[in-house]
Amino acid sequence: MGDGIRRALWVALAVGAIGWIAARPAAASDPHALWRIVHDLCVVDMKASGLPAPCSAVNLKAGYAVLKDIRGATQMLLIPTDRISGIESPKLLAPQSPNYWQAAWSERRLFEQRAGRSAPRDDVGLAINSAYGRSQDQLHIHIDCVRPQVKAALKAHEAEIGTRWAPLDVPLAGRRYHALRLMGEDLGARDPFKLLAEGDADARADMGRETLVVIGEVFAGGQPGFVLLSDRADLISLDEGHGEALLDHECKVLKGAG
């Protein structure tokens, strides 16, 4: 079998796998499929030809790839090109670790390309699930629209969200979250993984149970910023730490905006 045919078959298999690589745990049979797609295909193709296929983008210097998830028209996944299992990895809390959240926020341009329009910052969310609420053992940050009900709830309670982690006095998609406010157009060097570990000793002790969501926000007076949300998996209450539930893969907020 020639190299060209072999690569074409690999790409076809990869595209077929994308639909379930980020699905719930019961749906996945290979927890390393996402890593193989990025490491064996996207990175290899980028180095060989300058093209990131089947990914939408590969940034070798910054150490990440962006892959379209087959669910929904707009959902993208930001995946490190380094081997990082998930939110529980000690690599994420190392002093010089990359800020994958800032990279994901910057790459929302690919999400907007899929949407066919620019998106207001408070329509866009980033999410990572806990070790108990994911299907893949390779870190991936979901980039997509925020659920309209979540957007409305955060807007209604924005005055209660401060600069320290604190319980949010309203359920989001049926779960209770802790919230933190950050100001600014971008995250810059502020890494939500580290902000959670530094602000919550229980979270730092068992990061694998944590789920994190970062939602763009426009606060009173038109000030840009972010709301960070954390939840902790609790299998007794059937909470898998699935922060992705705050995102809407049908992107109703953009449809409602015309």
For residue range 35-80, list pLDDT tens digits in order.
999 999 999 999 999 999 999 999 999 999 999 998 899 999 999 9
Report the distance separating Cα 103 and Cα 177, nearest Å: 24
Using the predicted structure, report yes or no on whether residue 5 has a pLDDT greater than 70. no
Place of tokens 């299998």: 235
Residue 44, Cβ neighbours under 10 Å: how many?
Answer: 15
Token output for 148: 């309209």
Percent of the chain with pLDDT over 90: 84
Place of tokens 């927890």: 31
- CATH: 3.30.428.30, 3.40.50.2300, 1.10.760.10, 1.10.510.10. Which one for 64-256? 3.30.428.30
Choose between 4 and 140: higher pLDDT.
140
pLDDT of residue 12: 44
Percent of the chain with pLDDT over 70: 88
Residue type at 192?
Answer: P
Residue 252, Cβ neighbours under 10 Å: how many?
Answer: 16
Q: Write phi, then psi, for 215 (nearest 5 degrees).
A: -120, 130
Residue type at 72?
Answer: G
pLDDT of residue 223: 97
Residue 167: is the preceding peptide bond cis (ω within 30°)?
no
Place of tokens 């995946």: 79
pTM (whole model) above 0.85: yes
Report the distance separating Cα 177 and Cα 169, nearest Å: 8
How many CA within 13 A on the CB side of residue 188? 6
Residues 6+ apart with CB under 8 A from 236: none
Choose between 4 and 167: higher pLDDT.
167
Report the distance separating Cα 9 and Cα 12, nearest Å: 5
Using the predicted structure, report yes or no on whether residue 143 has a pLDDT greater than 60. yes
pLDDT in tens, 105-135: 999 999 999 999 999 999 999 999 999 999 9
Report the distance separating Cα 42 and Cα 53, nearest Å: 5
- What is the pairing mode between strands 178-183 and 166-167? antiparallel
Q: Give the Å distances, CA to CA, from 178 to 200, 201, 204.
A: 10, 14, 15
Token output for 5: 């045919």
pLDDT in tens, 146-188: 999 999 999 999 999 999 999 999 999 999 999 999 999 999 9
Token output for 253: 């907020």
